[in-house]
Structure 1
């Protein structure tokens, strides 16, 4: 069996930079969303609470709710806490931040984030290899063969992923990205199959991505953007695909917004002090950090678009 050394390197680069942060405990948003979230400390699966409360354990109808509906991500937290025997009889609520048991639980949950990040890196690598296979020419074959590796390497070591991996609540970003990559891979590998089957699977995967984080809805517009340049809109199949994307986005967006009662969240200063900061320095830092994250997302998306 031949060893793919590029994959081995990518596994290493997607793991090694984050290892020093695994020993830390619950930080910042991890405490209200996980360690102090009573919904997650039930010994039985809290289906009713997960579908009626936000990511932070507050009722979606509450004015203080952030309207973050991410039940699939929360379900993974509950499953780990139950496996670690941290349900109602032995919960983490109000324990000291430096408690040894608390740190062990946090480390295991961060390790899970790290593994998901590694899977995402490898999926991106194979996705780029598939997309680039038809763009190689004899003259540029060697350069094109290195593109999937170099792009995935940049993805694996990019500092914008630190928060997603080492902050437990960052799993929402990792999971919706996981479903996004799986959806694109599935769509590309099953283009010739029954459309109803493909569309149904894509709709379910997008729904799963949306249940991990709100940005999961971007799967569908991204698929359309990837396919559109090579589509012949005079063909019935192309029009059906466009109609499927538009109708799916409309349906999922309506359902998601209806859960919020079509209300926008109201943030307070304690939720995000930087937003309410009057200092120009911190406002610029906060803006630049989010801009960096958006640029990284656009970089990966533009890569997919370019290779098509």
Structure 2
């Protein structure tokens, strides 16, 4: 069976246009998920071209956190995609339309390159290459990489790998030029995402399966190995080596609380989930964090089933190494592009992610495409082949278009996917956070309370799944406070964070803000607990001194904490004034005058300080100076009645 001439003639244009159409509805989407880390809240990206030097010379998350915070094992060095975001910011500002458009165009080029590489390999018929590229273009598992702007690292890495493959397949002419172009493409691929380094082996292996001469294999090996060595050297200079230190935080290492047996059984379960999503890509979710994927042991059938499949595929792949049957290469392609993201050798920060199938899924498309092409070649099965192609193509297209809508923005994505990943601590936390933010924006009291109630539901679930999840406790405390719950309900959540992470700035900020309200004695109780965690904070000492003096009339303790507050922050006007009041009430006027003189020196326009200074000087019988101070107070605040001291 041959496709109509117009399909063969315009194959590349058809693939390109169809890809654009499938993802056209992402053009109205906003930023979502990790776009904050690499775009909207990345300080280097927001500098435009000036920030590119920092992007190239630091860990990939540094522009967001402000320091090298290697959240996941080994750190991340993917400067190329982040540099493209900086260029976009330079010329277009923060413009999600432009970013989405570029992602779509790059993906369309990837699809066309897949067709070209398969076609030029001389082992794949043009019709089969078209079907494979079409299935790859339409597969919904790619929506995370394409619809989420941050996924450009995946797209660029594969784009440059395919360019390198294309150059190597054309290596018969202008050998120096094509091998140089292949080497440059490989280097750019690794700068986009590290796991492109797998093609140091896969590209020469591909030529081996294509039965190219040994001299060509050696040259191809050098064309991939040299840029890989250069990349590793640069990465070493930036990150300080390839040390893999596993995180102890559950959200960055989902296996942290598992036994070794549970860890590897659960990893094998995720591999089976990947296979299921390749065959039936539904439901899709961004969130495979603990414990959407359940902890699994070897008493489950699924790890054993995965092992059987893996052993069978490895046996098949090894066998094809001998007879050099090209279809065997695609098993190695899947293994090579997947193994570094599989959690087998080091934790990647989550159980799994759909974007990790961006490259490996080509092997599935090849298998499915070959199957459909075989049906089309059989006279008795031609209709069946067309039926399968149409049904699969339509199902993929509908699912991909529908899934693109979920990536509209954080609110849409998080509140939708939490219905799928209902046992994920992160998913529940992020959904609760979005609902909290939406509630704060509401002017309608009833709608606000409904949103807060729903936010609390998700945040409670997050804490139930992961009791020491700081982000969830922080948001839950915020939500309770916004719901006008008492301090005794709100504060335990901030306190639980600070007991685990005494330097958690958001928890400190929110706890101290919340304690501005409430009954003095209750507030004091929580200030004492905060003080036991960190006694060097000015605001805690000041507020304790203020409460003891103003509300509880315990001037001795008021003096103690106000003095400590001033030691921490010597220029604090409010602490100096309050301590002066304590001295005045205890008739230590000389000490009161000393504090108030500091105040008026720091803030000469403070009428109340001048007034109190006048009263203290008067109590010390320094009448002339007292009158001058009182006159100054009246001058600064004419509304205050002028006081004249009788001599």
Stretch deviating more after TM superposition (70-79 or 275-284): 275-284
After superposition, the Cα gap between the structure-2 partners of 1:166 and 1:238, relative to the gap in structure 1 and judged at 3 Å, is closer
Select the residue among 135, 142, 156 that pairs with 1:154.
135
Range 160-169 or range 253-262, more displaced:
253-262
Q: Within 2, Cα distance between the matches of 1:215 and 1:287?
A: 15
Taking CA–CA contacts closer than 8 Å with sequence separation of 6 or more, which of the two structures ends up with the larger relative contact order? 1
Q: Any idea what SS the aligned residue of 1:27 has?
A: coil
Where does 1:1-308 land on structure 2 (aligned, <5 Å)? 4-56=9-61, 57=63, 62-64=68-70, 66=72, 67-86=75-94, 105-132=95-122, 135=123, 144-195=125-176, 197-229=177-209, 230-233=211-214, 238-239=217-218, 241-242=220-221, 245-246=224-225, 248-261=227-240, 262-264=242-244, 268-269=249-250, 277-278=290-291, 280-281=293-294, 287=352, 289=354, 292-293=357-358, 295-299=360-364
The 1:62/1:259 distance shift into structure 2, 3 A limit, reads: same
**How many residue pairs get matched?**
272
In the alignment, structure 2 segments of 5+ residues that lack a partner are: 1-5, 255-286, 297-301, 303-349, 369-647
Change (3 A) 1:210 1:60: farther
Distance 1:242 1:21, change over 3 A: closer
TM-score, normalization: structure 1?
A: 0.74
> Greater Rg, structure 1 or structure 2?
2
- Residue 249 to residue 154, structure 1, CA distance change in 2 (3 Å): same
SS at match of 1:108: helix
> How far is the alpha carbon of 1:193 from its aligned partner?
2.6
Compared CA separation, residues 179 and 282, structure 1 to 2 (3 A): farther
Q: Tell me the distance in 1 between the aligned counterparts of 2:105 and 2:252.
A: 29
Residues 292, 76 of structure 1: alpha-carbon distance in 2 compared, 3 angstrom cutoff:
closer
> Which blocks of at least 5 consecutive residues in structure 1 are unaligned?
87-104, 137-143, 304-308
Length-normalised TM-score, structure 2: 0.38
Q: Deviations over 1:138-174 (max 9, x none)?
A: xxxxxx3311110110111011210111101111111
Other-structure match for 2:564: none
Q: Could you tell me whether the CA contact under 8 Å between 2:78 and 2:193 is conserved in 1?
A: yes
Q: Post-superposition shift, 1:275?
A: 6.4
What SS does structure 1 have at the residue aligned with 2:59? coil
Deviation at 1:76, TM superposition (A): 0.9
> How far 1:218 sits from its partner (Å)?
2.8
